[in-house]
Amino acid sequence: MDHSLHFLAPPAPARPIDTEPARARLLSRRDLPALMALEREKWTDVQAASEDQLCARIDAHPELAIGAFCTRTGRLLASLFMRPVADDFYRHVQTWDDCVNAPLPEASSTLFGISLSSRNCDGVSALLDFFWPIALKRGWRHIYLGSPVPGLRDWREANPNRSVDEYVHAKRRGLPLDPQLRYYRSRGFAKVVCAKPSYFPHERSLDYGAILRGTVPLSALAPLWAALPEPYVRRVTRALSSLL
């Protein structure tokens, strides 16, 4: 069973934008050595995915397994794995395992982010920029993920009579109170849908996970993107990426 921290990508230290320029592409089994090295670097033995689990993710949904690589060295900077889920899946799940093992829907515009591992923010940006036109062309509209809330333990100690739901929706100066939720908001996951107890093991989160939702930009125009060739969609999103 995979106990990785499920789409947790800690903010990387600030660095010049050209330190490790990244280019994203779909992953294959040939990338397993680099993927395993990234898993070992970012996660503990309990949290990291095994080689068999990574193979299963790639084989099950090859169009939803993406890696970002340094254009100079070829080093893997970030990996992203997703799967289709029912549009209302979050109402019927409790744990991360439930999300990963939920029945595949016959029709859906919704994805669940199984995991995101990264060495720097440029790699994450490259992943999202690469996937944007794919999502538009395929009709994906919403991406959900489960995030730790690492500020919860300290907050509950100071506020023992207040609810977890209050914490995950709390804001300061217009931004989420929790540092991890602030990070994901900056990546487009602005909607906090709910909090799930016993979602995955994470001490500072008291084992809670917050289910977040991001909306693919311009996805409301799905019929238009479906009718256009993917290279054209990619050119459009590239032109718009600096404006949105």
* Domains of the chain, residue spans: 1-138
What pTM did the predictor assign?
0.85
**Order of strands, sheet of 76-85, starting from the edge strand that comes earlier in the sequence:** 22-26, 65-70, 76-85, 110-118, 142-147, 209-215, 191-196
- Bridge partner residues of 143 (DSSP): 111, 214
pLDDT tens digits for range 1-56? 343 334 444 444 334 434 568 999 999 999 999 999 999 998 877 778 899 999 99
Distance between CA atoms of 213 and 74, rounded to whole angstroms? 31
CATH topology of domain 1-138: Aminopeptidase (3.40.630)
Cα–Cα distances in angstroms (integers) from residue 179 to residues 51, 92, 135, 139, in the given order: 31, 27, 28, 31
pLDDT tens track for 121-176: 889 889 989 999 999 999 999 999 999 999 999 999 999 999 999 999 999 999 99
DSSP for residue 162:
S
Separation CA 144–CA 129 (nearest Å): 17
Q: Distance between CA atoms of 14 and 11, rounded to whole angstroms?
A: 9
Query: How far apart, in Å, do the first and last CA atoms of the chain sit?
Result: 38
Residue with tokens 């602030």: 182
